[in-house]
Amino acid sequence: MHPDGYVTYLVDRNINYTNVCTINCQFCSFYRPPGHEETYTQTYEEISERIVELEAIGGSRILMQGGVNPALPLQWYTDLLTHLSTHHPSIDLDCFSPIEIEGVAEICEMSTLDVLRAFKDAGMHGLPGGGAEMLVDDVRKDVSPKKGSPANWLRVMEEAQSLGLTTSATNVIGFGENTSQRIEHMRRLRELQDRSLNVHNTGFTSFIAWPVQLETNSFGRRNRGQNKYTLGAGSSEYLRHVAISRLFFDNIEHIQASWPTMGLAVSQMALLGGADDAGSTMMEENVVSASGTSKMDASEAELQSSIYRAGFTPQRRNSDYEHLETAINPEATKMLIAPVPRQS
């Protein structure tokens, strides 16, 4: 699909606008239940200040997600989107996740499609693929029983695609699932992609997978007792999963490497095993980092250097995978390992 030798990347920022959530996923170290002393919800001004910092480095997108916060009505979200799209018109607003859309719909007694329409009208550009984890009923009921069915996640994504919103597909492995269940997850995504491309003339821009991060998370009852599950996934398993996903998704153009969970070295290897995108600079991230993953930002120079060292040419993009003007940072070439002189 990508014989030209370019590997894309995105300059963006993750903004986690609230950590209040009622879903209680066992693997999540980020959320706090309503009433907890550590809960927060950022103001419009605080969020806008973070975007100003992104604009200062030439960023093009924010990925904004939080929790299912029952205290926030529909107007809080639409007013936020209107505020951000008015003050930051050059920034793509890829916001919320299907489970957040479901939460807003339930609170406001609306359909998820109507919520998506209201958000799009207020300035939302895309719906990120968060919250998919594993689209297999048995696995989902075990690790996040309050999170809604795989069918719900797929339905909300198709509704977003029917409105022309930019969407991506994700997959978290390492919940103790078997190989067949991983393939089942990908099969459901591929079938939705076929349908959406045929009916709506749009679909997922990309597929991103990563292992569940459990460094500071006991994973609830699944890590207790006889510990019957093998949790998490190592780098070899992750790289195999990337390679299989590239072969499996004949209808999804881009496969993204996950450096935030695997590190730059492993994600660099993923570029040789099927991935054609190096992800984003991420500037800020609080969900995965809450699990204990330490390095959650990368400079543009680091991503460019990683791409160069894998034998490809770096290409900056936006969230629709359109190529943007790319200035090669001199630091990127300094980071390259100098060749060892040949002995005579």
CATH number of the structural domain spanning residue 266: 3.20.20.70
**Is 224 a domain residue?**
no
**Is 68 a domain residue?**
yes
Read off the pLDDT of each residue in 167-194 and give the average, rounded to a whole number: 96
Is residue 283 scored above 90 in pLDDT? no
**Is 339 a domain residue?**
no
User: Taking the CA atoms of the chain, what radius of gyration do you get in angstroms?
Assistant: 20
Read off the pLDDT of each residue in 82-97 and give the average, rounded to a whole number: 96
List, in order, residues 6 or more apart from 146 with CB less than 8 Å away. Answer: 22, 23, 24, 25
Give me the number of domains the chain comprises. Answer: 1
**Is 341 a domain residue?**
no
Rounded-to-integer distance, Cα 323 and Cα 110, Å: 37
**Is 342 a domain residue?**
no
**Is 340 a domain residue?**
no
Instruction: Identify the CA nearest to 262 among candidates 290, 286, 229, 296.
Output: 296
pLDDT at 274: 95
| Structural domain containing residue 236 | 6-219+231-334
Cα–Cα separations (whole angstroms), residue 271 to 243, 260, 299: 10, 15, 18
pLDDT at 20: 77
Rounded-to-integer distance, Cα 315 and Cα 70, Å: 40
**Is 134 a domain residue?**
yes
Query: What are the tokens at 77?
Result: 């979200």
Among 65-79, 86-100, 148-162, the minimum mean pLDDT is found in 65-79
Q: What is the pTM of this model?
A: 0.87
Please identify which residue in the block is written with the tokens 């791409």.
Answer: 307
Mean pLDDT, rounded, of the chain: 86
**Is 1 a domain residue?**
no
